Amino acid sequence: MADSTADGVERRLPTDEARELLALVRDIARREIAPRAAEEEAEGRFPRELFALLSRSGLLGLPYDPGYGGGGQPYEVYLQVLEELAAARLTVGLGVSVHTLACHALAGFGTEAQRAAHLPAMLGGGLLGAYCLSEPSAGSDAAALRTRAVREGEGDWVIDGTKAWITHGGIADFCTVMARTGGPGARGITAFLVPGDAPGLSAAPPERKMGMRGSPTAQLHFDGVRVADDRRLGAEGQGFAIALGALDSGRLGIAACAVGLARAALDEAVAYARERRQFGRPIADFQGLRFLLADMATKVEAGRALYLEAARLRDEGRSFGRCAAMAKLFCTDAAMQVTTDAVQVLGGYGYTADFPVERYLREAKMLQIVEGTNQIQRVVIARHLVGPESR
């Protein structure tokens, strides 16, 4: 089944339900998200009320089990929803992606009792999640994390340490936290579900960022935070494997958001080129600019095709890690190039805050860094091709 986008491109959607879902998302994006994006990003304001609306609309748990309040949608559909949200405002699309990432450990590795107790509120109860893996000294080398959870007898765990670069840091209602419970390396890490208001959990002031100013990013400090053992997710020592599995899916979310951002930049560039006149005719008549727009559009379509291919592999239960890394790499690099070219199409106007392409360019840079830098994606892809590096 096909669905026409604003630029006339036909997309394949698997069901009538998916088609109706995407129409709903576009309506919300057009009416509720896009009109406020520029003002709120300039003010650094997080749109918490929009996330409440998305939760009520069933959009914060799309790929999860309907038995726990999820939407039961395949990743092929969920990612296209993210693209639509990100095209309207990246803060919203990325926020939904991060929330979905924060739910992954519980949905995939929690016990039946844990899922029944927590997932409905996380997926449809208006809660917002954060994913806590990175630390000040453990970014790309995430297995070197130092935040430690120590068990007191057979009861609670006590967590101490600092997490860094946390999206929704300071405003999240719950955090999926990776902490060291054993020795050094990946096998000593365990996952925990920590309430956002847990005593001893505090947030540093939000980072002052180049872009995505409406999305708070902050360090989280764990100072004797007590967590009951029934909030441990998976087995002791399984946390790093859980984290990597979540990141494979999270990279697809970033790829879809990158395509949405690039598409928004392309739409602005095309509209401007049709209206702007120089030498007595629209600048869209000049071959040099037409070729630039053609290259931008090709990158957008190629990126979407790649993230959808990875999504379909995931939906079929096949290995998709390599394709996810490729999608994250290609789509975010494409977003950086397309937003740069959009600024060029608008010329001096593109360099001002009066037009959104200036903001799109600043936001695109961030996408090349989060969920593993694009250099890390190349490492992952190469390992799939030729095996791990010699030691």
Measured at the CA of 360, the angle between CA 296 and CA 55, to 5 degrees, comes to 110
pLDDT at residue 41 tops 50: yes
Map residue 179 onto helix, strand or coil. strand
CB count within 10 Å of CB 246 equals 25
Buried b (16+ CB within 10 A) or exposed e, 19-33: bebbeebbebbeebb
Superfamily, domain 241-386:
Butyryl-CoA Dehydrogenase, subunit A, domain 3 (1.20.140.10)
Residues serving a catalytic function are 371
Is the pTM for the entire model greater than 0.85? yes
Q: Buried (b) or exposed (e) across 258-278, using 16+ Cβ within 10 A? A: bbbbbbbbbbbbbebbeeeee
Comparing CA positions, the residue from 179, 309, 327 lying closest to residue 247 is 327
d(CA 111, CA 90): 33
Which pLDDT does position 114 carry in this prediction? 97
DSSP 140: S
Q: Any idea which architecture 2-124 has in CATH?
A: Orthogonal Bundle (1.10)
Domain ranges (residues) in the chain: 2-124, 129-237, 241-386
In the predicted structure, residue 209 carries a pLDDT above the cut 90:
yes
The pLDDT score that the predictor gives to residue 6 is 46
Could you give phi then psi for residue 332, rounded to 5 degrees?
Answer: -75, -35
* Cβ partners under 8 Å of residue 384, min gap 6: 321, 322, 325
Average pLDDT over residues 190-201: 97
206 pLDDT higher than 50 = yes
Which candidate, 250, 343, 258, 220, places its Cα nearest to that of 292? 343
In CATH, which superfamily holds the domain spanning 129-237?
A: Butyryl-CoA Dehydrogenase, subunit A, domain 2 (2.40.110.10)
Supply the pLDDT for residue 23: 95
- Mean pLDDT, to the nearest integer, of 79-83? 98
The CA–CA distances, whole Å, from 5 to 2, 54, 179 equal 10, 21, 43
% of the chain beyond a pLDDT of 70: 97
